Structure 1
């Protein structure tokens, strides 16, 4: 007869194996411990009862049986479903914002939260994409480290100084009040106000170009009118080009007006005439011009006059290049 102490130790060992992602095979365990298969089945039954009675305490769901492998495995309440995990990983790969080392670390940690059975399948699905992964260029040592430090400073309303490379590669130093972080088109952006001016014009800094961050003891407060809504900005800006808010109007003759509406969340169709759609949108800055010009002859600027002139001038300058 198996002693109670031996039975308890055996159950603890079975539970531990399940915790670390192992599959529990009744026959194999019966042979290992020199007991009957029924004894192992009773052990598993008692473990299942314990999990059911103490779900809030142990945060596990159940020991589930797989008919295909004839084994039990431990399911967690906090496990990501494989369909959820693959969606997250595909977004991480597609954004290209992280170094390959950072990406692999993130994926490895995410996989630890899914079921043991699906990890091999996930590896198979993403192996080629990860192998051919190309990160965007960066100047900082770690985008993730920068994001975390900036996030803390935003929360604490703490002034900082940054060493930064401008788009023309000129290095600059700026003392700023960080107010928000957003992501757009491969890059994370820090939105901030300068400390040495009173015009309260928001500035955008690519997080990957920030090479050093100095945290100051000085804290700042913002009047309600200077607080920042990143959600509204995301809807009204393209490629993070700063500028004034304006309402533009244009026509579109392409096959998918929905693609335009998806790219410009504030856009709405004013009228439809055959394949021609007349749209209106509120946008910040001139980044919208870049997107609309990428649509070629499918787009025609209609207003306001300065917007029409910007598009016409850009097209004229492009034409001159091909005439030289």
Structure 2
């Protein structure tokens, strides 16, 4: 049904279960992608100002229906570039496009490129490197940065640096530090 809707440019309606909450969604499906042992449908929400597609795990979708309502291709008749978009939507989290600049230990460079194929090295010294990458949203990269522990420091944007500080404070309270 999902592939049929994509090919015919038909909207989908479904219930989506996430974090114990069920929400009804009407979307314009663009593509199906596979990530980390699960299939996702990339779609734009109907009647929302949000322009970037978001991902829905297919195994969390119930009551799926193909609607009669169709949707147009964009004005330039360009196709959705699923692979390129997925590379920027780190760990399937999406949001507004941001540029993130990090400082990391030099030996972690290869892992940064694995996680962010489009990352650029902008400076280095004997022990560390500064890298810059474009991502959609903050949640995915936030998880990645925290998993790197003390080996990664966010330099920019400042609001992401502040979010990390807030998470660290919450962790310190949790562990009674």
Give the TM-score taking structure 1 as reference length: 0.50
What secondary structure, in the 3-state scheme, does the structure 1 residue paired with 2:92 have?
coil
- Is 1:282 aligned with 2:137? no
Aligned to 1:170: 21
- Displacement after TM superposition at 1:254 (Å): 5.5
Is the contact made by 1:236 and 1:265 (CA closer than 8 Å) also made in structure 2? Answer: no
* Structure 2 alignment gaps of length 5 or more: none
- Aligned equivalents of 2:52 and 2:122: distance in 1? 32
Match of 2:73 in 1: 222
1:304 to 133, 137, 157: 157
Partner Cα separation in structure 1 for residue 135 and residue 70 of structure 2? 32
CA distance in structure 2 between the aligned counterparts of 1:288 and 1:203, rounded to whole angstroms: 16
1:153 to 1:186, Cα distance in 2 relative to 1, 3 A = same
Look up the match of 2:125: 273
Q: What is the rounded CA distance, in whole Å, between the counterparts of 1:242 and 1:258 in structure 2? A: 24
Taking only aligned residues, the RMSD between alpha carbons, in angstroms, comes to 2.0
Establish whether residue 292 from structure 1 lines up as the match of residue 145 from structure 2.
yes
Structure 2-normalised TM-score? 0.88
Where does residue 168 of structure 2 map in the other structure?
A: 315
Give 1 or 2 for the bigger CA radius of gyration. Answer: 1
Partners of 1:235 and 1:186 lie apart in 2 by 16
Give the 5 Å matches for 1:225-264. 228-253=80-105, 255-264=107-116
1:74 alignment counterpart? none
| Matched residue, 1:107 | none
Tell me the matched-pair count: 175
Query: Aligned ranges for residues 114-129 of structure 1 at < 5 Å?
Result: none
Q: Structure 1 or 2: larger strand share? A: 2
Q: Residues 223 and 179 (structure 1 numbering): CA distance in 2 closer, same or farther, change over 3 Å?
A: same
Identify, as 1 or 2, the structure richer in helix: 1
